Structure formats: structure tokens, C-alpha cells
Structure 1
Amino acid sequence: MLKKLKKLLHWTSNSKPEYDISPKIYEELKPFRLPIILIILVFLFGTLGYVAIDNVDVFTAFYETGITFTTVGYGEMYPMSDNARIFSIFLIIVGFMVFTLAVGVVIDVIQKGNLLTLLKERRMLYKIARLKKHYVVCYHTKFTIELTNEFKKAHIPFVVVSPEEDLEDIAKKYNYPFFIQAEPHTDIAMKKAHLSSAKGL
């Protein structure tokens, strides 16, 4: 049954793309490293601070650090000393600075839009990698619109490769299930289109 389904969907057992964009995704994720490291350090510093000041257990100190860092306002988890309250004020200030930095990084990454674009492309590449005996259609033109319509009628899989920036919108309009935004006839574009398992170009 599974083999018949794979044959119907023109899927291969090897679903790994020929062109790996993971390094680009990791590069876009690099800005998140500093906020994550700072958050871990704040929790470590806060936990050790409460343990040292009021001699509470590690879990209570960690929990107190969490509600202080996030300023959720649950109140004190145990009767604090004055030194612990002063430490909490300092922790709130540091936590606010780290939180502001983290929000700034997230907003900057979202505004650039590169990460979301790469994640969408990665998902598309894995879908294309499952195809076999498909056709790679170069450029979006009136001729290729007619050609892909015939492919769809005959249930023949195809991948459209075209450099238009709004190719995603074009694909939705003309019902292209698989597409790559790139200049055709380049090695990278053909690897993304999985030409090695294609039936024709």
C-alpha cells in the first residue's frame, strides 16, 4: 500500500535535497546565541545568589529567579532577607535589559525576513527531493503556463524554476505545487530542482 502511494505521488525513498541550505539557516540563527547565553547566565547567577544569600534550596532559588526575571508578580516564594530583596531589584534590572535585547534581536530577524524565507525554501526542497521522473520547467512564461496545465491534467509532476521575486504568489495563482525562485540553468538551481531524478528539462 505504501509503495503504491509513493508511486502515485512520484516519491523516492531518498528524500534528502541535493542542495543543503542548513548553513544559511544556521547563519541567520546566530544573533539568537547572545540572548540565550545571557538568559542562561542570569538564571545561573540568580539561583546561586539566592542560595548564597538566604541559604534556600536550589529549586526554590531557581523558581524565585524565574518569577523575578520575568517580573510576573507572583510575590516572594519564601520570607526574604533585606539582602535578598536588594538582590531581587538588581536581578529585575538585569533581566529587563536582557529581555529588551532578546526582543530587539527577534524583531530584527523578523523584519529582515531571511529566516522565514529560508525555512519555507527548505520545506520546499524536501518536498522536491521526494519526486522522481518529474520535469524541470525553466521560467514562468505563457508557454510554460500551458505546458504545466497539460502536466497537471496528465498527473505528471514538475518543478518550476524562475527568478521572479513574487514567484510564491505566481505559484499560488497558477497552482504550481513545486517551485524554486532562482535563475535557471545554474548548478545550484538544478540541484534544488533535483534534476538528477528528473525525467526531462
Structure 2
Amino acid sequence: MYSTLEQKYRRIQKELMAGIAALGGIFIIGTLWYSLVEKWSWEDAAYMTVITLATVGYGETHPLGNRGRLFTIALILMGVIAIGYIVNRFTEAVIQGYFQEGIRLRQHRRLMESLSEHYILCGFSRTGRQIAKEFRAEGVPFVIIDSEIESVRKAQSEGFTLYQGDATLDETLYKVGIERAICIVAALPSDAENLYTVLSAKTLNPNIRAIARASTEEAVQKLQRGGADAVISPYITGGKRMAAAALRPQVMDFVDGILTGADRQLYMEEVLLDPAICPYLGETLQKARLRSQTGALILAIRRTDGTLIGGPTGDTILLPGDLLICMGTAEQLRSLNQILGPIGSQKVRKPKNS
């Protein structure tokens, strides 16, 4: 299902086709010889060639001289070699299961082609594995890219959709539908690989949101300059979270409970106000009565100029392009989305097992 298996399948397929082509060429040579040299009819020439290559033991169609018999011996030898090669390749393909892999490859290719508005996760290390679990809990469509055999086996054993390849290559990104994806997460072990991945992704799809992992502060700056929309350093972020857990443990427990996990009751979501759809633009929060209609709480509003309004009051006016950061149950957030209008990929995601 992965690139290495695909290469093996293509190799055995080419070898089988080469053997069949060689056998066809030998048949044409034999037919032409008996027809042009021995002056037989085309039907007799083709019949003689077939029974010779098949080694069925039939007699000669017409008497042959020494030259014709020598050619027939050579034709038999060439046919035996070609048929033996085809049988050998076919037997290997059956034993190794290449035909079954070919079916899986076609199914996997159709799956890749059907992906749309999905997430691409590059790297299935410890960080990537946790990201994949969160994606699965959120119920979003995503595909994993990794080139390490051990990581591939782990991802396969856990039932994730995966493509084995180098995430820094354009060809690999095309295979996983980079032009149709809405977000790519570069969680590869190397900062250089993450930078190459972000650059490639932004080149192939300028509208994609790129999230990158960085090991150092210098890498954070380079990835930001390379086009990453957000750069996360596990060491810096982990240190901040550990300090917050020590200083404000209850706050951290609450935040973790609404941000991650499949069995949570409260969720945080962001909702974009589309000027072509939202019916409450230009109105205040008090007049829009979003809280009373849905039960969802508006925690903050980010304006189009980047200004963040924390804890907006009832007098706060809703403007086109505002991004609402909301909290509530899955049903409350879904009701809020329905009131504000469908907005494409910005939708409330409900865990598959909830």
C-alpha cells in the first residue's frame, strides 16, 4: 500500500509484461520465418509457431529442411526460456502476494484521490502519534506521511490512513492531495525537513494552513519566515505548560479538558463571520442574543486587523471577517454555527465515539 510496495508491484508488473512481450515477439518471428522463408501460408505459419512454442509434440505442418529444423530448434529454446521466465515471475507474484497488493494499491490510490478538505500530518514519531490521536478524536479526515518503516508499521497497526514517502518532496505531497487539503502539520524530527515541507506545501497550495514543529528558537524564526502559520516548540511549550500546571493546576486541568480528549463535555471552537452569510453583522452581541439562543459562550473576538478582544461585552459589535472563539457543548456550538450560517471548513467537529 505504500511506496516501497508500489515499487515492487510495478517491478513485477513490468517484468511480467516484458516476458509476455518477448513471447509475442518470438511468435511474430516464427510466423514470419515460416511464411517468408519456408513459403507457407500465414495460417500454417502461425499454427506451426504455436505448436512449436507450446511443445505439444505435433508433427511438422509441412516437411522442413535442415535450415528449417535448425530454426525450429532455436524457436523452441527461445519459447521455453520466455515461457519459463513468465511462469517464474507469475509464481513469485502469487507467493509474495503482489496481486493482492496491487488491489490494495488501487484502493489506497482511490482513497487518496477522494480526500478533500483534509489534514496532512507529516511524521509519526511521538509528537505525530499524539497529533494523530487528537485528529481521530476530533473526527477530522487526515492522512499521515512517513518514510520510516517502524513508524509506518505502528501507524498501520493503529488503523491510520498513511502514505509512505518523503514529505519534503512535491511528488509525495501531490499523492496525498496537497492542493485539496486545508492544513498541513510538519512534525518531522528534523527542523530542516519541517522547513522544506512547509516551503513545498506553501508553494503547491498557497492557501493551506501550515503548522510546524521546531526544536530551537532559531528554527522557530526560520520556519515563520518560511511561511509557517504557526510554529510549536515542544520544549518551550512543554516548559510553559509545566510552569502553569505548578502555579495554576485547576486552570490547566480545565483548559486541557476542553481542548483535548474524546470524552470531554465542553469544547472550544473558532467561528468565522462570513460577510456573505452571517445575518448579525453590524449588530451588538446583546442584540444578536447568541448566548440566549444557543447557550454557547463567546470567549474572545479577533478582528481582521489582528486585534484580540477578550471577554467581549454586550456592546461589542460584530464585524465582517471577525473570528469568534467560543466555548460550549457540541450541540451548543453546532447551533451557533447554524445561526451564523454555514462557513465551509469552519464547522463544529464531533468525536466519532461520542
Question: What amino acid maps onto 1:42 in structure 2?
Answer: I
What is the CA-CA distance between 1:118 and the residue it aligns to? 9.2
Question: What amino acid maps onto 1:132 in structure 2?
Answer: S
Aligned partners of 1:125 and 1:193 also within 8 Å: no
How do 1:1-201 residues align onto structure 2 when only pairs under 5 Å count? Answer: 28=11, 35=19, 38-52=22-36, 55-71=39-55, 73=56, 75-76=58-59, 78=61, 80-83=62-65, 87-100=71-84, 106=89, 124-140=108-124, 141=126, 142-151=129-138, 154=139, 156-166=140-150, 169-176=153-160, 178-201=161-184
Structure with more of its chain in strand, by fraction:
2
Aligned partners of 1:60 and 1:77 also within 8 Å: no
Number of matched residues?
166
Q: 1:167 to 1:70 in 2, by over 3 A?
A: farther
Indicate the SS of the match to 1:94. Answer: helix
Q: 1:170 to 1:57 in 2, by over 3 A?
A: farther
Structure 1: runs of 5+ lacking an equivalent: 1-23
Q: Give the distance between the partners of 1:60 and 1:168, measured in 2 at CA.
A: 57
Structure 2: runs of 5+ lacking an equivalent: 1-6, 185-354
Q: Residue 248 of structure 2 corresponds to which residue in structure 1?
A: none
TM-score by length of 2: 0.37
What is the CA-CA distance between 1:174 and the residue it aligns to? 1.3
Q: 1:173 to 1:70 in 2, by over 3 A?
A: same
Q: Give the distance between the partners of 1:144 and 1:170, measured in 2 at CA.
A: 14
Question: What amino acid maps onto 1:189 in structure 2?
Answer: T
Q: Give the distance between the partners of 1:170 and 1:62, measured in 2 at CA.
A: 55
What is the CA-CA distance between 1:82 and the residue it aligns to? 4.0
Question: What amino acid maps onto 2:121 in structure 1?
Answer: V
Aligned partners of 2:26 and 2:79 also within 8 Å: yes
Q: Give the distance between the partners of 1:82 and 1:189, measured in 2 at CA.
A: 59
Q: Give the distance between the partners of 2:167 and 2:30, measured in 1 at CA.
A: 55
Q: Give the distance between the partners of 1:188 and 1:86, measured in 2 at CA.
A: 52
Q: 1:181 to 1:41 in 2, by over 3 A?
A: closer
Alpha-carbon deviations, 1:48-93, whole Å to 9, x = none? 333356654312321221221132x151374x31435554333212
What is the CA-CA distance between 1:41 and the residue it aligns to? 3.5
What is the CA-CA distance between 1:47 and the residue it aligns to? 1.3
Indicate the SS of the match to 1:159. Answer: strand
Q: 1:187 to 1:55 in 2, by over 3 A?
A: closer
Question: What amino acid maps onto 2:179 in structure 1?
Answer: S
Q: How many percent identity over aligned positions?
A: 20
Aligned partners of 1:46 and 1:61 also within 8 Å: yes
Q: Give the distance between the partners of 1:54 and 1:184, measured in 2 at CA.
A: 61
In our comparison, the structure showing a higher alpha carbon Rg is 2
Alpha-carbon deviations, 1:87-135, whole Å to 9, x = none? 433321232244456567x48x96xx9x988996676344312211111
Indicate the SS of the match to 1:132. Answer: coil
Q: Give the distance between the partners of 2:23 and 2:30, measured in 1 at CA.
A: 10
Aligned residues: CA RMSD? 4.0
Aligned partners of 1:54 and 1:81 also within 8 Å: no
Aligned partners of 2:122 and 2:146 also within 8 Å: yes
Structure with more of its chain in helix, by fraction:
1
TM-score by length of 1: 0.59
What is the CA-CA distance between 1:172 and the residue it aligns to? 3.7
Higher relative contact order (CA 8 A, sep 6+): 1
Deviates more, 1:118-127 or 1:82-91: 118-127
